[in-house]
Structure 1
Amino acid sequence: MRPLLSPFNVISALLLVSAAFVDHVVSQPPAAPKPPKLQLGSVEQVRARLYFTDDQVQAMRPEVRTVSATSNAPDAVARAALKAWVAGPTSGDALPVVPKGSDVPNVWVRGEHYFVNLPAAYARLNYGSDGERMIVCTLTRTLLESRGRDVTFLLNGRNVETLLGHVDLRSPFLRDDCED
């Protein structure tokens, strides 16, 4: 009679038990992932000088205002400043440059250079040369007030020669290009 606990039988039993254990472990559903902890973004209050126009659309009117930025990074401050610029002035001697409810232009910062993507609706504004100059110059002065060297304008994501047919947008605008 053959022994029951022969080395072959012991090894076979161990393999059978380990196969059953592996099958049990593999067939278990994965553990549910822990949901990420939601963190509210901090909001920084930053002072910004915004530029608007006078009632004759001939001169820029600065207005110092506290804006809420998601951080103190230049691109976040620029986005907050442009949002406040579109909202218009809070003082009585200045007028908004774009109509209420206009879309806020997108802005990117690369080193000392700002890139502003104007919404397509800005090209349909019924402004003359002074109005077009005010759009470009108030944006330029608002963005370059504290930092930066120049502002390049795009329209709906594309380089354009002009916004409304009067001001050349092919090269970047410097602060000196928009002296009052």
Structure 2
Amino acid sequence: MDDEIQTDGGEQGHQRSVNHSIDGSEGIYKQLFTDKILRNKLVVIVSIYVITGLSIGLAGFTTIDAFSGGSGNLGSQIIGGIFVMIATVFTALIGVPIAIMLALRVSDSLQRSNIETYATTGVGVFLGHLVMFSIAFVILASKIGNASVDVDLISFFIPMLLAAAGVAFAGVSASYLTRHHGL
């Protein structure tokens, strides 16, 4: 099976997939978690999103008091809630540029078939975005958790999945463009 890939010199080339078959009993998604190189790429991608989620959550957690005045009155809680919403929207949106940057790196560094590259990028940024958003949301929501605001991660589940799918689309699209049109 010949798959078109980018070679180290940036030229289009063909590589015969040896021992990396995606046909037959071993599917690409199973291969992502069993092949050491692909699994390592996934771990790195998800780890970058974890670091981003922790950073956004902790930065937001420590600055909410500065924006809300630190007191427990209703006005402070409203301002704190507004800041949490802004940080939550920012977290949802920042996943796209991260996905595109990671896709460019994976497309250039992963010398595997196109389908393996697209699957690694797509699954990695999808899972990473879910984890990043969940971590940041839980940290930020814990700051206003003692307020009378009902914050529930489950109510954000479907929107998180849809956002992660959009992020995965951006990542796979960037991988595709890089693989087929170069930079």
Q: Same fold (TM over 0.5)?
A: no
Higher relative contact order (CA 8 A, sep 6+): 2
Name the one with the larger helix percent: 2
Report which of the two structures shows the higher radius of gyration computed on alpha carbons.
1
TM-score by length of 1: 0.30
TM-score by length of 2: 0.29
